[in-house]
A and B are shown apart, each in its own frame.
Chain A
C-alpha cells in the first residue's frame, strides 16, 4: 500500500500548494516572502521533531498522547540541570541537552514497556503519562516557568543560520530526513510497518514485537526530549502551560499526512506536509487579516476529511478495487480548483 500512501501524501501536498497559491493571490509578496516562510518553518520546527516519533508510533497502530507533557518534563529537567550547573556557554547547554534526552527516552521507554509488556492500550498508557509527566514538572517547579536558559542555546535560535536555514528548522530538517531514511530504508522501519500491519504475523516470523514497540515509544520520547531542547532555545524559558494541545496538533498533522491511524502505512514526508498546512493557514490568515481562530476550523475539517479518505480507501481495497472513488473525486475537484 506504499504506492497508495504515496498518493495520499501527494494529494495532501496538492492541498498545501492550493492553500499557498490562494494566499499568494490574496496577499501577494507579503505572504510569499522569505521572512514569512522562515517564520513558518520556525513555528513548526518543534512539532516536526515530535512528528517523526509520532509517525513511527502511529504506524505501529499505537498513539502517544504524552509528547507535550514529556516535552515539558524534559525541558524542566534540562532547565533545572542547567540552572544548577550555571554559566551561559555550550558546556552548560550540552549537559542540559543530555538531561532532556535522557528524561524523554526514560518516559518513552516506560510508555513502551507498559504498552508492550503490560498490554495496556497505548491510549491509556500515554494518557496517564500525559498527566503524570506534566504533574511532576509542576511539582518540580511549583508551576513557575524556569527562565535560566544559557545564552548559547537562545543565541543558537536567534543568530545561527546553517546553509541559509535558521538553526531550529535546520535541526528539525536533519531529524526529519534521518527519520524518513530509518522508516523507509532500514529493517527497523520495515518491522515498524509489519507490526502495524499484522502484529501476530510479525510475531510468527520471529520479530521481537515487544522489544520493537519499546524502541518505537522510546524513539517518540527521545523526539520529545529533543523537542524540549528546541523549545527552550526558541522561547528562552520552559513552557509548562503552553504544550497542552501539542500532542493533538502533532497527531493531526501525522494523520493529515496520510499515516493511517489503524497502522501499517504512513510516511515522514506526509507528516511534514501535514504540519505545514496548519502553520501556513495561520500565517496566511494573519497576513490577510482573517481572525486566526479560523485556523482551528480549517485544520479540523482537513483532519476529518483526511481520515474519511483513508477509510474509504481501505474499504475500497477490501472490496478489491485498486482505486477508491472518493479519492479520484477529490482529485478531480482539486484539479478544477487549482
Chain B
C-alpha cells in the first residue's frame, strides 16, 4: 500500500545553504513518525515543504498514492493536514474558542450569518467537546489565551489542529517549553490523536519522548534523511549516533560536506 504522505528527493537551497538535499520522508495512516536531527538538519524545512509553506527546487510529494503539488498552507488544510508551529500561532488576546475557530468561524443562520455574525454558542459547544475528547486541562473558555500556561496553550494549538485535520498533524517541538506534567499531557494527547486514526509527525529534540510515542523514527542530517528505524528496540545512543553521523559535528553550513 502506498504511504499516506511521501516525499521523494526534495531539494531546496537558500543561497549557498542546501537546507534540503535530496531528502525523503514517508508516513503511513494512523502512525506516529518522529523526525529528528540536529539544529539545521532540515526538519523544519521538510515540514514547511510538505505543508505548502515552502516551494522546493526539486523532488516530488505523493499523497495517498497520487502525486501532488502543495502550494499553500490553505491547500494543505483542505487535504486534511494541519501544523502546530513551534510558536503555536495563537492570538493571545482571543479566548480558546475564538482561537480554535479563527478563520473558520461558524456563521449564524440566515441574513445575520450573511452579514458576518457568528454562532458563538455552537462554536463554544464544539470547542468544549474537542477539549473534553482529549482530556484537556483547559477549562476557562472565555479567558484570553495569553493568560494561560504554556501547557494549556500547547493543548489549545493541538486541539485546534486535530479538530481540522483528518489525515496528518505536524507537531514542531511541542514539548520544548513545557514542564514535566505538561509534557506528559502532550505525549498522552499525541497517543490519543493516533488512536483516532490520524497520523502524527513529531519533530523533537527529546530522544526519550520520541522513543516513548513514536512508531518509527526518521533521522535527518545535513538536509537529507540518513536513517529510518522503528522506535521499538532502538536506543538513545543509536539515535544520537545517526543524528551526529558519528564523527561529523559540523552543521549544514558546510555545504561541501555532502
Please give the residue numbers on chain A whose beta carbons come within 8 Å of chain B beta carbons, in ascending order: 1-4, 182, 185-188, 190, 193-194, 196-198, 200-202, 204-207, 264-265, 317-318, 320, 322
Contact = CB atoms under 8 A, between A and B. Distances in A.
B117 A197 contact: no
Interface residues of B, number: 30
Contacts of B115: 186
A277 B144 CA distance: 29
A185 B102 contact: no
12 contacts: A186-B115, A186-B118, A188-B116, A190-B102, A197-B94, A198-B92, A201-B89, A202-B91, A204-B85, A205-B104, A206-B104, A317-B146
8 A-B pairs with the lowest CB-CB distances in the bound complex, closest first: A205-B103, A186-B116, A201-B89, A197-B91, A264-B93, A1-B144, A197-B93, A198-B91
B144 A2 contact: yes
Interface of A (DSSP majority class): helix
A267 to B, nearest CB: 12
A4 B103 CA distance: 24
Interface of B: 73-74, 77, 83, 85, 87-95, 98, 102-105, 107, 115-118, 142-144, 146-147, 149
A178 to B, nearest CB: 11
B107 A200 contact: no
Contact of B92 (A197, A205, A320): A197
Contact of A1 (B89, B104, B117, B147): B147
Given A186-B115, A190-B105, 14 more contacts: A1-B147, A3-B142, A186-B116, A190-B94, A190-B98, A190-B102, A194-B98, A202-B91, A202-B103, A204-B73, A204-B85, A205-B89, A206-B73, A265-B93
Given A194-B91, A197-B93, A264-B92, A187 B105 contact: yes
Contacts of B90: 198, 201
A206 B103 contact: yes
A205 to B, nearest CB: 4
A265 B144 CA distance: 11
A1 B98 CA distance: 12
A204 B142 contact: no
Centre residue among B89, B95, B105, B107 by max chain A CB count within 10 A: B89
A190 B95 CA distance: 11
B137 to A, nearest CB: 16
Q: Is the interface of B mostly helix, strand, loop or mixed?
A: loop
Contacts of B91: 193-194, 197-198, 201-202, 264
B144 to A, nearest CB: 4
A182 B117 CA distance: 8
B50 to A, nearest CB: 15
B89 A185 contact: no
Nearest to A59: B93
Nearest to B144: A1
Nearest to B142: A3
Contact of B102 (A1, A2, A186, A205): A205
A196 B91 CA distance: 9
A190 B143 contact: no
A207 B103 contact: yes
A186 B112 CA distance: 9
A196 B117 contact: no
Contacts of A4: 144
A194 B144 CA distance: 12
A3 B93 CA distance: 10
Contacts of A206: 73-74, 77, 103-104
Contacts of A205: 89, 102-104
Contacts of A196: 93
Contacts of B93: 1-2, 193, 196-197, 264-265
A207 to B, nearest CB: 5
A202 B94 CA distance: 12
A318 B149 CA distance: 10
Nearest to B115: A186
> Which of B115, B117, B147, B149 gathers the greatest number of chain A CB atoms within 10 Å?
B147
Contacts of A320: 147, 149
B139 to A, nearest CB: 15
Contacts of B94: 190, 193-194, 197
Given A1-B93, A198-B91, A185 B117 contact: yes
Most central of A3, A197, A317 by chain B CB within 10 Å: A197
B118 A187 contact: yes
Contacts of B116: 182, 186-188
A206 B144 CA distance: 21
Given A2-B144, A193-B94, A206-B74, A200 B103 contact: no
